[in-house]
Structure 1
Amino acid sequence: MRLDKFLKSSRLIKRRTVAKELCDAGRISVNGRVAKAGTEVHVGDVLTVRYGQREVSVRVVQLVDNPRKEAASQLYEVLSGDGDVIDEA
């Protein structure tokens, strides 16, 4: 699954366009490497999202295209940070 799609599906970032913009700015890394929006994400990968003063690290637990809102948080395990949804405002 594409990185930007996973971030939107997991609701770590509310909009896929915002996820793409963060990737283009070099603020998202997969397994310690800066990643582009089209980077493939696999179960077990560690994602780090930097936005403003916040940094959230999560481990991918499962991949689902369109999870229900209640199940979105089960797609990842928070390793560090506050785990809140990141948005542009």
Structure 2
Amino acid sequence: MSGTRTNMRIDKWLWASRFYKTRALAAKACDLGRVRLDGALAKPARDVKIGDRLNVTNDSGLYEIEVVELSEIRGPAAAAQKLFSESEESREARAKLLAEKRVMAQFESLPEAKPTGRDRRMLNKFRGRER
């Protein structure tokens, strides 16, 4: 997968390594401060190279990874996992967070039915979206 390139844009690498579904989402995550390169906030156009350490936050949690390989294309998940190596502490922290979410889901009460039109109007009024 790696060519002769020694560096590439971080948003493109995050997309190719399947941390984000689209390159636009990867760029937005960089803009929102969810991606750190060697401890500093990373802008989407910042170059990433082999050996860089990244902290990436997405829906699955916080990943502490090291760039192992560069790729311009988005391949299958098995190939994308070869682009980085994740620290053991990061894996354990995400597993712990997932277990906590599962336990909390047991105590979460879901509504018995969809909100009625009246309920929706009351919610909109409460949220300040009254027409």
TM-score w.r.t. length of structure 1: 0.82
Match for residue 51 of structure 2 among 23, 44, 51: 44
**Larger strand percent:** 1
Q: Which residue does 1:7 correspond to in 2?
A: 14
CA distance in 2 between partners of 1:51 and 1:64 (Å): 20
Shift of 1:50: 2.2
The residue type equivalent to 1:68 in the other structure is: G
The change in CA–CA distance for 1:10 and 1:51 in structure 2 (over 3 A counts) is closer
Q: What residue ranges of structure 2 are gaps of 5+ in the alignment?
A: 1-7, 95-131
CA distance in 1 between partners of 2:74 and 2:11 (Å): 15
Highest RCO, 1 vs 2 (Cα 8 Å, sep ≥ 6):
1
**Larger helix percent:** 2
The aligned runs of 1:6-45 (5 Å cut-off) are 6-45=13-52
Q: How many residues align?
A: 82
CA distance in 2 between partners of 1:60 and 1:30 (Å): 10
Answer yes or no: is 1:54 the counterpart of 2:61. yes
Which structure has the larger Rg over C-alpha atoms?
A: 2
Report percent identity of matched pairs: 35
Q: What residue ranges of structure 1 are gaps of 5+ in the alignment?
A: 83-89
CA distance in 1 between partners of 2:83 and 2:62 (Å): 18
CA distance in 1 between partners of 2:64 and 2:70 (Å): 17
SS of equivalent to 1:21: helix
The residue type equivalent to 2:48 in the other structure is: V
TM-score w.r.t. length of structure 2: 0.58
CA-atom RMSD in angstroms: 1.7
